[in-house]
Amino acid sequence: MDSVTLIDKLQVCTKGTFHPIYLQWLKQGSKAIISKQALISFLVGPYCGEAFCDVLPMDACHILLSRPWLFENHVIHNGHANTYAFKFKGCSLTLAYLPPPKRLKIK
């Protein structure tokens, strides 16, 4: 289920953007048009927060935390380890990339 379908299914309130934005790298084989935004509450481990998100179809994931969220939370990105570190309620947290599960090869 892509994020547009999820937003519709959960009946999350959205608002229009000033100018549509066109992206091509988030959904394989098509151009994504961003014309809505929504305030989304989410949990990652012990972290609970919210982010104002663009709503668009993505194959990669349901939520992509971008520059505004990284800036507001003083996130430090370690490009080599592909981790994101920040403080939440006085505790140090590190978000790490989870690779997709390995597919079993059936012979």
Sheet of strand 14-23: strand arrangement? 14-23, 32-44, 47-55
Query: pLDDT tens string for the chain (107 positions)?
Result: 667 777 788 888 887 777 766 665 555 666 667 778 888 898 888 888 888 888 877 766 677 788 888 999 999 999 999 899 999 999 999 988 777 677 666 66
Angle at 65 between CA 74 and CA 1, to 5 degrees: 165
Element (DSSP H or E) covering residue 95: strand 91-96
Phi, psi of 49 (to 5 degrees): -160, -170
Confidence (pTM): 0.57
> CA–CA separation, 72 vs 87, rounded Å?
11
Domain locations in the chain?
Answer: 1-62, 65-98
Phi, psi of 18 (to 5 degrees): -70, -45
Question: For a pLDDT cut of 90, what percent of the chain falls above it?
Answer: 20
Task: Confirm if 70 and 51 have CB atoms less than 8 A apart.
Answer: no
Question: Residue 85's pLDDT is what?
Answer: 95
